[in-house]
Amino acid sequence: MFLLISIPERAKLSAYAKISDGQQPGGQQVAHPSLQNMPGQSCSGGLCYTAFTMPATRKRAPLPDSGNTLGLAREVLEIEAAAISGLISRLDHEFQRAVDLILNCKGRVTVSGIGKSGHIARKIASTMSSTGTPAYFVHPAEASHGDLGMVTRDDIFIALSNSGESSELLAIVPLIKRQGAKLISFTGNPESSLAREADVNLYAGAEKEACPLNLAPTASTTAALALGDALAVVLMQAKGFSRDEFARSHPGGALGRKLLTHVRDVMRTGDDLPRIADNASLSDAIMEITRGRMGMTAIVDAKRRVLGIFTDGDLRRAINKGVNLNASKVADVMTPAPRTISADKLAVEAVQIMEEFKVNQLLVVDAAQALVGALNMHDLFRAKVI
């Protein structure tokens, strides 16, 4: 079947269904039975056409002026803010019971919901997982077709439904209870079927939706999301979840780079590390700065202990003072006791030192103050620590 559409005028659309079906014994092609004897049917050359008239597309409403647009936007935000504020007075011992259940859980947390509540459930599971509470999302429809096997008697099952009557969730609740898992519900109706079946029900509703029709889930989903965040953060604090643990679950982002990248990961070593002896001439130091391309060279003694640093800034100041570049020693114009850092420190700490003391390079030393590396702002930029 082919559908041919033409637009003879703006007010209507004409659709033509082209049918080439089987043949009768005489070899004559006939129209599909569903199109025979219908108004507007015509046949030509063994092909039959039937025309249908479709209603015109509804005209687009005029755009509101900027005043109405901003007013409506503010009203939406006020309604959603009120939905979150309304949860504060409703928090009671049931929230504490939910926290206790999850803290004492020997398994994992499963979060589920359908439609918009499903999107919120997925976000809650993600937030919990990244803040120290292992959790995952399961779609209720998939759960009823085998995925419920992921849930064990040691798990906690969190079900989200504003009405508390989502048939997809209610279909799997008896199986969850039979399995032995504890059920926590987020609903906007404490008297709903889901709330009654739950071991703990947390109110996550709203007095009204931000939608002008009071139909689209808006304020209610915002409230559920905020309540999920509150639960995740309380659990995070109760478990003593640290910055390092947070970084280990975020290795790919900017936050992970700041919390996981150490000075040893970005510092320059070996032949890439500019350094020179304390008895070297100033001209030799200038050549070492040029070779190292770091805008400085470290000044070390025979045991590689750091005595000072000579930077391109020091060079400009020496020239300004009229220092003889060929006759002078680098020890006479270097900056003694420079800022240093350990290789085990976080790279972000190197950034803080550079910003605080307004320097562009840092020497890296070990416990004996021996030179092991160096880094500058460009190294930190390349590592995307800054």
pLDDT confidence tier of residue 35, bands split at 50, 70 and 90: very low
What pLDDT shows up at residue 276?
96
Q: What is the pLDDT of residue 200?
A: 97
Counting Cα atoms < 13 Å in the Cβ hemisphere of 168 gives: 18
Which of 258, 290, 262 lies closest to 276 in space, CA to CA?
A: 290
Type of residue found at 229: D
- Tokens for 69, please give them: 């647009």
Sheet order of strands, 182-187 included: 135-137, 109-113, 156-161, 182-187, 200-203
Order of strands across the sheet that contains 275-277: 275-277, 296-300, 306-311, 335-336
User: Is 40 a residue whose pLDDT tops 50?
Assistant: yes
Mean pLDDT of 276-285: 95
**Secondary structure (3-state) at 48:** strand
| Conformational region of residue 230, where left means phi above 0, alpha means psi within -120 to 50, and beta covers everything else | alpha
Q: Pick the residue with more confidence: 89 or 24?
A: 89
**What contacts 160, CB < 8 A, 6 or more positions away?**
111, 112, 113, 117, 118, 120, 121, 124, 185, 186, 187, 204, 224
Q: Are strands 47-54 and 12-19 parallel, antiparallel or unpaired?
A: antiparallel
Average pLDDT over residues 92-121: 96
* pLDDT at residue 13, as a whole number: 38
pLDDT band at 59 (very low <50, low <70, confident <90, very high): low
Crossing angle of helices 219-238 and 93-103, rounded to 10°: 50
Q: Report how far apart, in Å, the C-alpha atoms of 116 and of each of 56, 136, 217, 309 are.
A: 32, 17, 7, 60
- Complete domains list, the chain, with CATH: 2-54 (no CATH), 70-241 (3.40.50.10490), 263-382 (3.10.580.10)
CA distance 287 to 277: 13
All residues at 6 or more sequence positions from 353 whose CB lies less than 8 Å from its CB, including other chains = 339, 341, 359, 362
Rounded Cα distance between 258 and 255, Å, is: 5
CA-based max dimension of the chain: 115
Mean pLDDT of the chain: 85
| Amino acid type, 353 | I
> What percentage of residues in the chain have a pLDDT greater than 90?
69
pLDDT, one tens digit per residue, over 126-156 is 999 989 999 999 999 998 888 888 899 999 9
368 residue type, one letter: A
CA distance linking residue 65 with residue 349, whole number of Å: 50
The lowest-confidence range among 155-164, 196-205, 258-267 is 258-267
- At 155, list the tokens: 């798990």
